Amino acid sequence: MSVKENYQRILEIAKTAAEKSGRKLEDIIILGASKTQPVEKIVQAYEAGLRYFGENKVQEGVEKIEKLKHLDDIHWHLIGGLQTNKAKYAVKYFELIHSLDRPALADEIDKRAKKINKVQDVLIEVNIGEEETKYGVHPEKLKELFEYSLQKENINILGLMCIPPYCENKEESRKYFAKLRELKDEIEKEFQVHLPHLSMGMSSDFDIAIEEGATIVRIGTLLFGERKY
């Protein structure tokens, strides 16, 4: 199937899931996870109507952003883990960083954003399954990191992100998505803030994520086909 056909299928699934959670398709951002995908595939998705793309690696993302900067209504998010020494480029090129997960990174993002007179939108990445191999702040440290980052003048926290443990049965992911939503609700109540976004769900389970409150779903394989590493 073509990228266009894949995108239409994704929209149909997302619409059904959104309606189950009392929302509309327009409330959901479909983010094309374009890691390792050639620019041509991104253009195909763009021509099919997709406007949001997420890159895992700063350098690869910057190269694509430069090549496609003539597309003025395209939005670029950084969805992979961010090293402190790459924060300068992430802040310059990406609209939303999904992977703030430690105070040192908050310091660096804030500093780099200040230098270019930008308030950087971020999501805090939560290691919802508390896996050793994954990025993200552990749930019990989330409020501490949130409070710390909230004090940064050049950081604007829009919500939370997670990558749950891999589950053979996608229904098993539901508890992790529900947990992230609960954490967001707790933070909103405690800190008297509004966090509009929950970035959770990928090709295999994004419908479940939407049912549990996701506002951004990160779709790679289902949109572009199998990755060529």
What pLDDT sits at residue 72? 83
Instruction: Return mean pLDDT, the chain.
Output: 96
What pLDDT sits at residue 159? 98
The helix (H) or strand (E) run that includes residue 55 is strand 52-55
- Residues with Cβ within 8 Å of residue 137, at least 6 apart in sequence: 101, 102, 124, 125, 126, 127, 145
What pLDDT sits at residue 228? 56
97 strand-pairing partners: 78, 122
Q: From residue 58, how far is each of 30, 63, 84, 165 by CA, in Å?
A: 20, 9, 11, 24
What stretches in the chain show pLDDT beneath 70?
A: 227-229
What pLDDT sits at residue 221? 96
pTM of the model: 0.97
What pLDDT sits at residue 74? 98
What pLDDT sits at residue 1? 87
**Helix, strand, coil shares, percent, the chain, to 5:** 45, 20, 35
